[in-house]
Amino acid sequence: MALKTNILFPRRVGMPEGDPANTHDLLTPEELESRGILFTSLDKLFRWGTGWSLWPLQFGLACCAIEMICTTQTRFDMSRFGFEVFRNSPRQADVMLVAGTITEKMRPSVELLYHQMPEPKWVIAIGSCAISGGPFVDSYAVVAGADKVVPVDVYIPGCPPRPEAIIDGMLQLKAKLRHPERQKVVRDVK
Amino acid sequence: MNTETNKQGRYSEVYQLNFGPQHPSTHGVLHMLVEMDGETCIGVDTKIGYLHRGMEKLLESRTYLQGLPYTDRLDYLAGVNNNLPYVLAVEKLLGVEVPARASLLRMLTCEIMRLASYMVGVGIYIMDLGAVSGVFYPFQEREYALDCMSALCGARMTQSYIRYGGVQADINEEFDVAYQKLVAETPRFIEMYHKLVDENEIFLRRTKGIGVISAEDAMDYALTGPNLRASGVDYDLRRDAPYCLYDRFKIEVPVLTAGDCYARYVQRMLEVEKIFQLIKEIYAALKEEPAGEIMAKIPKVLKPAAGEAYAQTENPKGIMGCLVASEGKLNPLRVHFRRPSFDNIAIFEKIMPGHKVADLVSIIASFDIVLGEIDG
Amino acid sequence: MLNKQEVAAMVQQKFRLMVEPLPDTDCEYKVDLMTLVPLCRELKAGGYAFLADITAVDYLEQGYFRLLYQVCNYQNGDTITLKVDVSREEPVVESVCPVWAAANWLEREVYDMFGIVFKNHPRLERILLWEGFEGWPLRKDYVHQPNKYQGRRQLD
């Protein structure tokens, strides 16, 4: 049994033991939650809120950027999940979607954009080029993956990934935000 | 507005403005170093190569079949159209005769993706001028086109549908359903979009008389595609030097003479109607064509004869050319692509000076550029 | 305005020894290094206003670069291919920028990739690669040394 003392509702003086009106100090946190009362830490609340209002940086590099735009358009509509506020300035964004091939010429700009974003910030690598260099990995001008330049939180495979996959990737980031204790995503595959 | 000029006849000190490589209206990673005098641009240095992946070098180390999917990543808005010149050039070296049905399928997919590419072209243009709602409708229309391709070969954007000697798959019932949806939706879209955009006062002010290109300049700078035809040069490879089976059909090419940003927008919208007509004609021809082979007899291991072959096709952005040099080995000696956007934007340095900085956005967007194609 | 046959006649008449039509091809010519610009001027005057492409092929074993010029006619859609061989030791070609403005970027790209120098080019700089890049990547003898950001990952 969980500890049943309740600092928010101290025991009323003069109430007999076992009185139904005294149930408030017998409720577990789960029972309280079912009555609309939540207990949480500020950190958890913050992460919960962030998960619902990620502001991605509007930053397209190559083919995957077009699928990223498709994801925000009518059919797939990423705004359903609260990710629609694409910011043009890195100063206002907190998620960087690396959508496409990072080339050696573009690398300094990508680094600069990442450093210009305020903390806390996350990076999603969209497509095989951003994951590992993809089909261009042995080229003289291509950086082999976004994680050689910036720390990456979520990888979305595909060349380019379908919009559904991009939405799934964003939801994975949300799950990571809400459950930082999880080391990696484990799925039920039947 | 400050109308006084200083001793040098300038409104302010000349300063440089970095436009890109990360900028919402450069369609990717275009970088322009603009010299400004007050609000007016007096010189432009277009810097490209931020997406240069060295594709031509990579293709030299791949076999012909391995190299084909790379071409999709050039102009990624119209993947099939990029397969075509590479395949045509290799087929020239192989000496393969393509079955008629395969040729029709190639044309059908190319026209569908051309429609999809134009949708992005006009939609992003309106969005860059500040009307965000203008992008939703073309992208919805584009989804119908992509559904067709998805039903046909499984991929939305980078299809690699056209193969050496033919195509990957024949049309199926799923394609027919998606195609009927496309046919039903397109006329409605065209009518609605004309109503939405054409007469818009802000749109007219920002596009009419901006970035005017004369026919002489357009020819001198080797502009191709809708940008050339909006300047009054009547040139379309599908009609003037037909490949595949385009000579079977009557290709109507709209031509405008104004050569400004508005003309380039109207040109695209007019061409969308013609493309839609052509799609219907090709589909009807395909239904009449008896079912048969969609692949010619080609060897499992491709070793084209030694030599150089060059093929040109009309792509959504302009004329795409492909040079394949072979030594009779498993991989090509050299592959080169003439990438239309690359040649089109060379004219920026000539037409941009004299415009305000907001007009630069209008000019860039009116060219409908794709950075994957520019940088190669 | 010249069509393909008239171009062949013009070449016979004016550049008989310098320009050699290649057998079994559709209007392809092997052009001498010195004749390139005069021939291009003639073609432009004859209606070939559209310079579609300039590119090069590195024939390492034979020891030369082959430059290919694709010149098209807006009126009848004819394409003429000019092939110019340049030695690998001294790759210098006259620029055709004065004839067609479109040659500017095309020649810069060839310079960027092959290191072929175009004389009288208004601004011969790297265009796709960055300043400070060493080597000419599309040459056959180019060897790429991956830096810490590049190359395949080594699996343990």
CB < 8 Å to A67, chain B: 156-157
Number of domains, chain A = 1
- What's the pLDDT score for residue C2? 80
pLDDT band at A9 (very low <50, low <70, confident <90, very high): low
Per the CB < 8 A criterion, the answer to whether C130 and A104 are in contact is: yes
Q: Is residue C139 included in any domain, yes or no?
A: no
- What's the pLDDT score for residue B35? 92
The minimum CA-CA distance between A60 and chain C, rounded to whole Å, is: 19
Closest-approach residue (CA) in chain C for A144:
C150
CATH code (residue A153): 3.40.50.12280
- What's the pLDDT score for residue B193? 93
Domain that holds residue A140: 53-178
Number of domains, chain C = 1
- pLDDT of residue A3 exceeding 60, the answer is no
- Contacts with A, C 16-55, CB within 8 Å: none
pLDDT band at A1 (very low <50, low <70, confident <90, very high): very low
- Whether B14 contacts chain A with CB within 8 A: no
Using one digit for the tens of pLDDT, what is the confidence trace for A64-84?
Answer: 889 998 898 888 888 888 887
Per the CB < 8 A criterion, the answer to whether B52 and C128 are in contact is: yes
Q: Is residue C71 included in any domain, yes or no?
A: yes
pLDDT band at B134 (very low <50, low <70, confident <90, very high): confident
Q: Which residues contact B45 (CB under 8 A, 6 or more apart)?
A: B32, B33, B34, B35, B349
Cα angle B293, B295, B300; round to 5: 135
Domain spans in chain B, listed from the N-terminal domain onward: 64-375
Q: Is residue A13 included in any domain, yes or no?
A: no
- What's the pLDDT score for residue A22? 56
- pLDDT of residue A6 exceeding 60, the answer is no
CATH code (residue C32): 3.30.460.80
Which has the closest alpha carbon to A98: A47, A64, A143, A66?
A: A64
Q: Is residue A62 included in any domain, yes or no?
A: yes
pLDDT band at B236 (very low <50, low <70, confident <90, very high): very high
Determine whether domain B64-375 maps to CATH 1.10.645.10. yes
Question: Can you tell me the mean pLDDT for B250-277?
Answer: 93
Cross-chain residue pair C128–B49, CB shorter than 8 Å: yes
pLDDT band at B5 (very low <50, low <70, confident <90, very high): confident
Q: Is residue A144 included in any domain, yes or no?
A: yes
Q: What are phi and psi of A177, to 5 degrees?
A: -65, -40
pLDDT band at B21 (very low <50, low <70, confident <90, very high): confident
- pLDDT of residue B124 exceeding 60, the answer is yes
pTM score, whole prediction? 0.90
- Whether C132 contacts chain A with CB within 8 A: no
- pLDDT of residue A117 exceeding 90, the answer is yes
Cross-chain CB nearest to C55 (options B54, B235, B336)? B336
The minimum CA-CA distance between C113 and chain A, rounded to whole Å, is: 12
Q: Is residue C145 included in any domain, yes or no?
A: no
Rounded Cα distance between B114 and C95, Å, is 35
Domain that holds residue C77: 4-119
Closest-approach residue (CA) in chain B for C55:
B336
- What's the pLDDT score for residue B315? 93
Which has the closest alpha carbon to B69: A99, A166, A134?
A: A134
- What's the pLDDT score for residue A11? 55
Question: Can you tell me the mean pLDDT for B205-225?
Answer: 92
Q: Is residue A86 included in any domain, yes or no?
A: yes
Closest-approach residue (CA) in chain A for B71:
A135
Query: Taking the CB of residue B8, how many other CB atoms lie within 10 A of it?
Result: 9
B17-31, B143-157, C73-87: segment of lowest average pLDDT: B17-31
CB < 8 Å to C81, chain B: 310
- pLDDT of residue B165 exceeding 60, the answer is yes
Low-confidence ranges of chain C (pLDDT < 50): none
Question: Can you tell me the mean pLDDT for A151-176?
Answer: 91
Q: What length does chain A have?
A: 190
DSSP secondary structure letter of residue B356: B
> What ipTM was reported for this prediction?
0.92
- What's the pLDDT score for residue A179? 83
